[in-house]
Amino acid sequence: MRKIYVLGLSPSPNLLTKEALEVLQKAPVVFTYANDFPFNLDELLKGKKVVKLTPAFTDSSNRDEIIQRNIDLINSCKEEWGVFLEIGDSAVRNPLFYHILGNKKIVEIELIPGVSSVTAVLARLGLNVRHFCVVGSEEFDLIQKLVNICDTFVILNIQPKNTKVFEFLKSNGYDITFVKNCCNPDEEISKEYKGDTYWIIAVAILRKEKL
């Protein structure tokens, strides 16, 4: 394997860009996550050779072993090139680099941009923002520094162990909306975090009386 194109798959296949779709259709092998996606990939991947890679998150006890298995799987492919499917945009918090490959440069990587999950959520909520901060829910220290400086937060990577950030933001005058499975048939917009799936993005907006 000489090269991997990272495709921004967008929050929904309906938002897949023309360029990404063309590259995907030509791809001799497709790499995907071994865990779930917020939508069905069967139609997109019909007839394709699919290789599933496992994210090795920072707190994984066997992180090095998982990353090495991913590298071995990629190296075992005889195809000259392939594609890796990433939810949202390929250049925003893409786990391929750190959770799949462990920052090891084993192949050439080219990013094919897609519709960002971040901007899709903002559009879905009908928001027209001039500026915003994109952070992970685990970055509590950073959020504490930015509170009341940044009037709009888009919060990704939400896990139940990191939800204290939402009470903190509410106590500092922010209204929070949670968008689950954005732009998909089972999309849900709520004012409460339910924690029933990883595919949730939160938007926190500073109330006008606080501006």
Q: Where are the domains of the chain?
A: 3-115, 118-210
Identify the H or E element spanning 69: helix 63-76
List of residues 6+ apart from 62 with CB closer than 8 A: 56
As a whole number, mean pLDDT of residues 16-41 equals 90
In whole angstroms, what is the distance from residue 129 CA to residue 122 CA? Answer: 8
Q: Quick check: 210 pLDDT over 60?
A: no
Q: Which two tokens stand for residue 55?
A: 């994210």
94, pLDDT greater than 80: no
Q: Range with the lowest mean pLDDT among 32-36, 121-125, 128-132, 162-166?
A: 32-36
Cβ contact 114:7 at 8 Å = yes
Nearest alpha carbon to residue 11 among 126, 127, 130, 92: 92
What's the predicted TM-score (pTM) here?
A: 0.86
Number of helical (H) and strand (E) elements in the chain, helices listed first: 6, 10
Q: Is the pLDDT of residue 3 over 90?
A: yes
pLDDT value at position 87?
Answer: 83
The predicted structure's pLDDT at residue 13:
87
Question: Using CA atoms, how far apart are residues 111 and 83, in angstroms rounded to an integer?
Answer: 10
Q: What is the mean pLDDT of the chain?
A: 91
Q: What average pLDDT score do residues 100-104 get?
A: 87
Per-residue pLDDT at 10: 83
Q: Is the pLDDT of residue 38 over 70?
A: yes
Alpha-carbon span 73 to 75, nearest angstrom:
5
Asked if pLDDT for residue 122 goes beyond 90, the answer is yes
Query: pLDDT value at position 209?
Result: 60
Q: Residues 118-210: name the CATH superfamily.
A: Tetrapyrrole methylase, C-terminal domain (3.30.950.10)
Give the pLDDT score at 140: 95
Mean pLDDT value across residues 30-36: 87
pLDDT given for residue 153 in this prediction: 97
Nearest to 35 by CA among 14, 17, 57: 57
User: From 3.40.1010.10, 3.10.150.10, 1.10.3720.10, 3.30.930.10, which CATH number describes the 3-115 domain?
Assistant: 3.40.1010.10
Residue 133, pLDDT above cutoff 70: yes
